[in-house]
Structure 1
Amino acid sequence: MESHAGIFHTLPLGERVQKKLENLIDKYMSQLGASKVSLSSISSQALWQQTNRLEGYGQELFRFTDRKDVPYILAPTHEEEITTLVAKTIKSYRSLPLRLYQIGRKYRDEIRPRHGVLRSREFVMKDLYTFDYSLQSALKTYEEARCAYNRLFDELKLPYLVAEASSGDIGGDLSHEYHLPSPIGEDIVISCTECSYVANEELASARPIPPQDHYSTESNNAQAQVWRGISKDRKTLVNVWYPASFSDRDINTHALKSVLPGLDSSLENAIPLWQSALNSSSQRPRLLNIIDYRLGQHFATSLKNESSQFPMFPTQTPVELSQLDAQYITSSTSGEPFNTIHIHDGDHCPRCTSGKLRTQKAIELGHTFHLGTKYSDALDARVQVPSTMIEDGQVISTKSDNITSVSMQMGCHGIGVSRIIGAVANHLADERGLNWPRAIAPFEVVVIPGRNMEDDATTVSRSLTEASGIFAPIDLALDDRSESFPWKLKDADLVGYPVIVVLGRKWTSDRLCEVQCRRLDHTEFVPVDQLREHINKLLSQL
């Protein structure tokens, strides 16, 4: 229940769903050999300054000061705190690998909370932090964590996608996202129809189609147009040249940031800011021309050699092209032809020759990062290792002829607990109510008795909740409230119990229980002595 904008209370049934999900996470973290900790929700701003994240994280940080004016934040994540903790306690490689996780509340000052717990200001998250002494060991840990995530989402029986992803503000150079396709999702996931290629919008690419190189300076206004942007420091104007068959809405700013990380993509009109910077800056202004591969090499050559034929910037701009540091980019940082356009359905897969790409809206449920030494370098988290165990490329500090100090290799692996609850609720709900999967349903089964059948319902419930042979007790609720029989049936659908057992007319006449499972579109009358086996068969499919 929402108490304030983007802030929610959890009621009894929701608390049971959350605890079941947390227990499920605990099971798979235990299989991974991870130990559970509980870190404070309050973190030091000074600590975040050491990793250069205090300002870079943006305005979503909840900041405050205590009575002594010491600045703190409500933590949205705990890389700094866990690294500092481990740096104080772990000194030798023999204590590694180390895997620590927590499940707790995080905070994010959302400018516009939306979609309930999917985008809230306070949320519950599981974060696992891993520490290894070598890159090889860290990458092994990363794959083990990914396998644990796969098993967890498999048990939830969700149609999840695992996408190659950008690390963003967290850091590192290896990252994967776990997504649930949904029409209300805020992320875009691209997948191939033929092979296993899946990537998020920031990292996805399409196989270029050789362009028809027919653009010329005489026809460029009809065949090409320009989108303009500016860097955050206002010193670089960006011209993106692309085919006129597309529009500005098709420009992929994620691709542009691969060559200009400081691009400010939030502005609709960059020219006034750049003009202002021209007048106030003593440095030579920069003009960056990015050319979409579809325009062909002839267009790129003409743009560079016959620039006067093109609208490099508005005519009222008081500067000549010769006064600028003009640069021309036709390929990505990896050397591929530069694609400035968002990927569309039907584009060619970059991994296989026959597959076509499909774009889907999705909700991010989890994210894994290999962080490397970004935080351990900044916070001096190091261990002593025999020199013979050092790998090429490791940051080292020699202590003696035989012992060397190295920065720990780190990983971070998050799961949005409250986000999974909201995403699953939305994904499986229908016109009659919620529809929880067995693994996190508040109760697996509800027993609803007709009038004057309360004693019989108690007997049936006990037969299902007591251990019997190969069957474990069933997690069951008996609806013995004084509400009407039709009201209880409707409420059971709203709550979303996986299986509903009804004691109605067939019970009175033939001692048969009506077993309903909405997700499987199943209704059957079952005698009591077969009830447990029948219910377990249904639950195994949920």
Structure 2
Amino acid sequence: SIRTYWRNYFEKIDGVIWVVDSADRMRLDDCKKELQALLLEENYDKRACLSKVFLPTINDPASKTVKDKKEASTIENDGAVKGESHQLMIRAGLIRQSSSGVYSLLPFALRSIEKIEKIIDQEMRNVEIITPYFIKRQFVEADRTMECYWERGLFKELKLNSNFDPVEDDRKTSDFCLAPTHEEEITQLVANDIFSYRQLPLRLYQIGRKFRDEMRPRAGLLRGREFIMKDLYTFDATEEAALKTYEEINEAYKKIFTRIGLPFAVAEADTGNIGGTKSHEFHILSPVGEDLILSCLRCGYTSNEECAHGIDNNRCPVCYKDSITSHDPDNFHPLESNRAIEVGHTFLLGTKYSDPLKATFAPENKGELLSIQMGCYGIGVSRMLAAIIESSHDSKGIIWPQSVAPYRVCIIPGGDEPEITEKIRSLYDFLISECNGLNDEVLIDDRMNLSFGYRMKDAELLGYPWLMIIGKKFLESGKIEIHNRHNNQRKYLEFNEIKNLFFGC
């Protein structure tokens, strides 16, 4: 063991303890930190420790230390860093910018992304596929929606040879685009393989990266050029079946956002460039959101500002108007207006894509071929990560919902005494074994080269839902200090009382 190794290499020369490593000698005091690190590595072996994670946090951008000065320049040198979520994601070491509107996702961000994707997977319960990142230019020419994207500059055109290497001139060159959306690609896929009504209904979805050449990328992951998106496409034989599917998917979306644990609103929306006959947006409420949604507290009607209108008089007289073009209560109706961030969108497409791309099927009566009724449904996964932080933070840092927090529990040692190390290890094992919901959800902040205060500030910045501290107070009282990040309450509990904090244990 490491303890035995170091014990075998202690020497006492003229009253001074030296540590001998091969032919080198070091004062014990000089190598104390290195020795502690090795012992901690052994003590916390096979346990999740923060020292093993790449997490370049910026604890205090205003700090005058050399380390924080260098890290703070990450924020100060980037003039595009605007919005609380963008700053917090950089300070918490979740993202780093690669180029304008393009970011690398670091380990903590990736863990949260994976949790969001898992919730989506569980609620979709459909067939997952992967479609190409590159799509041919011919799809642009075949469909007006793609032309709109092209005119807005959201496409990135590439000339690629058979190896997908950019080329100037080659006899095998084809025009390709980095896909901003996949309606055409997946419709073409289905058109080639669906022939009969017996093969319908069909639901296909994917979670992957997309690219849109935004003219003004801003606010980090809220408005980037490259992003992660879940897109689902549905195919039905009749309008009635497609409408039923549309309602089912909307209900599944509501379950997804409810499980994530943030207030959201479902608003009637315009179909825009995507097209179709029906559309709804899913918003996370936030004062910095780019969208304005209007809602009636009496009947529950909600719409975005662009297409708000009144509804049937017998349902809500307050809302009864053919058209609402303003949210001014003096001139129109006492509608509640809220800023929000759009994180999901659903469209009932009809035959907008199946007609031009000839996605047809033979009906039951064996008559002439009919166009497939379609729907498309999207969730901005990486945007949702930023929206969660934007709507759930305070002056100390992020406040994660428990469902998508990178880790639900962080254990912070208050010292490096053997008794504390042993109790930290016991607490970690207790949480993992006794609480089923905490498997792979507990992390030890074993960075003993950093001060306790620094690690506490880091923990508040990173937003763990629960902090557990074992230090000298524990040695005196036998109780663990526990911080709840959501309400900032502090309590002291014994081991057997901790289990009651967590549901599903």
2:456 matches 1:499: no
Given that residues 408 and 438 in structure 2 are in contact (C-alpha distance below 8 angstroms), is that contact kept between their aligned partners in structure 1? no
Q: Deviations over 1:408-429 (max 9, x none)?
A: 1001010000110000011111
Provide the rounded CA distance (Å) in 1 between the counterparts of 2:473 and 2:104. Answer: 41
Partner of residue 456, structure 2: 489
Q: Which amino acid aligns with 1:386?
A: E
- SS across alignment from 1:411: strand
- SS across alignment from 1:365: strand
Partner of residue 434, structure 1: 398
Given that residues 458 and 478 in structure 1 are in contact (C-alpha distance below 8 angstroms), is that contact kept between their aligned partners in structure 2? no
Q: Which runs of 5+ in 1 are unaligned?
A: 208-335, 350-355, 388-401
Partner of residue 281, structure 1: none
Relative to the length of structure 1, the TM-score reads 0.68
Q: Which amino acid aligns with 1:136?
A: E
Q: Which amino acid aligns with 1:82?
A: I
Q: 1:41 Cα deviation (Å)?
A: 1.0
Given that residues 435 and 496 in structure 1 are in contact (C-alpha distance below 8 angstroms), is that contact kept between their aligned partners in structure 2? yes
Q: Which amino acid aligns with 2:415?
A: R
- SS across alignment from 2:403: helix
Provide the rounded CA distance (Å) in 2 between the counterparts of 1:143 and 1:159. Answer: 20
Q: 1:50 Cα deviation (Å)?
A: 1.0
- SS across alignment from 2:493: strand
2:388 matches 1:424: yes
Given that residues 445 and 474 in structure 1 are in contact (C-alpha distance below 8 angstroms), is that contact kept between their aligned partners in structure 2? no
Partner of residue 70, structure 2: none
Label 1:366 to 1:136 Cα distance change in 2 as closer, same or farther (>3 A). same
After TM superposition, the runs of 4+ consecutive aligned structure 1 residues lying more than 6 A away are 336-339
Q: 1:193 Cα deviation (Å)?
A: 2.7
Relative to the length of structure 2, the TM-score reads 0.73
Q: Which runs of 5+ in 2 are unaligned?
A: 1-95, 161-166, 312-320
Provide the rounded CA distance (Å) in 1 between the counterparts of 2:203 and 2:255. Answer: 18
Superposition pairs of residues 93-492 of structure 1, within 5 angstroms: 93-205=197-309, 341-345=325-329, 348-349=332-333, 356-387=334-365, 402-452=366-416, 453-467=420-434, 473=439, 475-482=441-448, 483-492=450-459
Given that residues 56 and 169 in structure 1 are in contact (C-alpha distance below 8 angstroms), is that contact kept between their aligned partners in structure 2? yes
Given that residues 354 and 374 in structure 2 are in contact (C-alpha distance below 8 angstroms), is that contact kept between their aligned partners in structure 1? yes
Label 1:472 to 1:343 Cα distance change in 2 as closer, same or farther (>3 A). closer
Select 1:63's aligned residue among 140, 157, 166: 157
Q: 1:92 Cα deviation (Å)?
A: 1.2
Provide the rounded CA distance (Å) in 1 between the counterparts of 2:291 and 2:330. Answer: 19
Q: 1:18 Cα deviation (Å)?
A: 0.7
Label 1:487 to 1:462 Cα distance change in 2 as closer, same or farther (>3 A). same
Q: Deviations over 1:356-393 (max 9, x none)?
A: 21222210010010000010001010111112xxxxxx
- SS across alignment from 1:516: strand
Q: 1:348 Cα deviation (Å)?
A: 4.3
Provide the rounded CA distance (Å) in 1 between the counterparts of 2:322 and 2:427. Answer: 68
State, as a whole percentage, how many aligned pairs show the same letter.
40
Q: 1:40 Cα deviation (Å)?
A: 1.1
Label 1:196 to 1:9 Cα distance change in 2 as closer, same or farther (>3 A). same
Provide the rounded CA distance (Å) in 1 between the counterparts of 2:335 and 2:443. Answer: 46
Provide the rounded CA distance (Å) in 2 between the counterparts of 1:138 and 1:337. Answer: 27
2:104 matches 1:9: yes
Q: 1:70 Cα deviation (Å)?
A: 2.0
Given that residues 187 and 359 in structure 2 are in contact (C-alpha distance below 8 angstroms), is that contact kept between their aligned partners in structure 1? yes
Which structure's relative contact order is higher, taking Cα pairs within 8 Å and 6+ residues apart? 1
Provide the rounded CA distance (Å) in 2 between the counterparts of 1:471 and 1:517. Answer: 17
- SS across alignment from 2:299: coil
Q: 1:180 Cα deviation (Å)?
A: 1.3
Given that residues 206 and 347 in structure 1 are in contact (C-alpha distance below 8 angstroms), is that contact kept between their aligned partners in structure 2? no
Partner of residue 41, structure 1: 133
Q: Deviations over 1:97-130 (max 9, x none)?
A: 1111000011111111111100000000000000
Given that residues 344 and 358 in structure 1 are in contact (C-alpha distance below 8 angstroms), is that contact kept between their aligned partners in structure 2? no
- SS across alignment from 1:440: coil
Q: Which amino acid aligns with 1:500?
A: L
Provide the rounded CA distance (Å) in 2 between the counterparts of 1:134 and 1:203. Answer: 27
Q: Deviations over 1:433-470 (max 9, x none)?
A: 111101110001111111122221111001101146x7
Label 1:8 to 1:344 Cα distance change in 2 as closer, same or farther (>3 A). same
